[in-house]
Amino acid sequence: MAGQSALITGGAKRVGREIALALACAGANIIVHYRSSSHKAEELADELRGIGVNAWTIQADFSDTAGVESVIDRAIDLAGPVQILINNASAFPLSEFETVTFDDVVNSITTDAWAPFALGRRFGQTPDAKHIVNLIDTRVYGDYDWRHFAYHAAKNMLALFTKMSAIKLAPRVAVNGVAPGLILPPEGKPQSYIETLKYELPLQRIGDPKFVAEAVLYLVTSEFVTGQVIFVDGGRHIREAGRG
């Protein structure tokens, strides 16, 4: 991947950070997008430069739809040609079936479906684009997240956008997804928040952000895979089928 550049949305921390480190270790230059974590983004950029690649940071709030697509052009202005887009940024607000509002649904769709779609569409128009990877969620396949109703609906939409974009951006750009499962607890929650759930998984253990990064690295180095979603979930997506 030496000489290639990757834009990673929500790249300053958690899973996004691990993806940035994995791609940098493979030789890619990294543009770290953040919304509010400027200090963590700059710290990560310094760490990436220490690996021996170039790194930049870029700020954008994807709840502002007017500025979403311009992030691609801003990234190219910073780094030159960009070959890889990783749509990792996401919001995870509580919303339940009984109380979810129109605004809840619109806000989740804006950040978790529209923003990655719009970024991918604009990226696909640039001459050097090669790979797009969307971070989805294993629960959109055969399971429901009733405590995060709007988020769940938006991630379902992103899963559909991933396959549709793979068709429309072919043959030049490959579009794939990664669907993580129990990797990290929600921000502000302890590890014990998800630890008790591991026994529901076929592999009966919690994942590591590095496992997600490995799947992303595979997809952005593959020459013949598009329209696919890789589950990094310990088998969670097949749990219900196994019970049947």
Catalytic residue among 104, 151, 233, 236: 151
Q: Which of 9, 103, 121, 4 is nearest to 58 (CA)?
A: 9
Give the neighbor-by-neighbor strand order of the sheet with 174-180.
55-59, 29-34, 5-8, 84-87, 131-135, 174-180, 229-232
Choice among 14, 17, 139, 236 that is catalytic = 14
Which amino acid makes up residue 147?
A: R
Q: Is 34 a catalytic residue?
A: no
Tokens 């993580």 locate to: 180
> Is 139 among the catalytic positions?
no
Q: Which of 34, 104, 112, 137 is catalytic?
A: 137
How many other CB atoms are found less than 10 A from the CB of residue 49?
Answer: 15
Reply yes or no on whether 239 is catalytic. no
Give the whole-angstrom CA distance, residue 16 versus residue 31: 11
Closest CA to 87 of 76, 106, 71: 71
Catalytic residues: 14, 137, 151
